[in-house]
Amino acid sequence: MGLHTGECEVIGDDVGGLAVHIAARVVGLAGPGEVLVSQTVKDLVAGSCLAFADRGTHALRGVPDEWRLWAVVGA
């Protein structure tokens, strides 16, 4: 599973936009049984009981810049 959060565009019965593209790339990098999240998600849940393991920075196809990703490893 992969998670990212951001603004989405509603296009008819579908959604699009940069946040959707980032989420799709994060999903593609997640391993079997893994929950992989973007730095944005990690920052938004600061103070929660979730624990994360750094999975490094990644160039996400079609997305500017590099993105740090984290695996959820416990709660």
SS3 category, 20: helix
Number of domains composing the chain: 1
Which domain does 28 fall in, by range? 2-74
Write the pLDDT tens digit of every residue in 31-65. Answer: 999 999 999 999 999 999 999 999 999 999 999 99
Mean pLDDT of the chain: 96
The pLDDT-based confidence of 23 (bands split at 50, 70, 90) is very high
Residues near 53 by beta carbon (within 8 Å), at least 6 away in sequence:
70, 71, 73
CATH number of the domain within which 59 lies? 3.30.70.1230
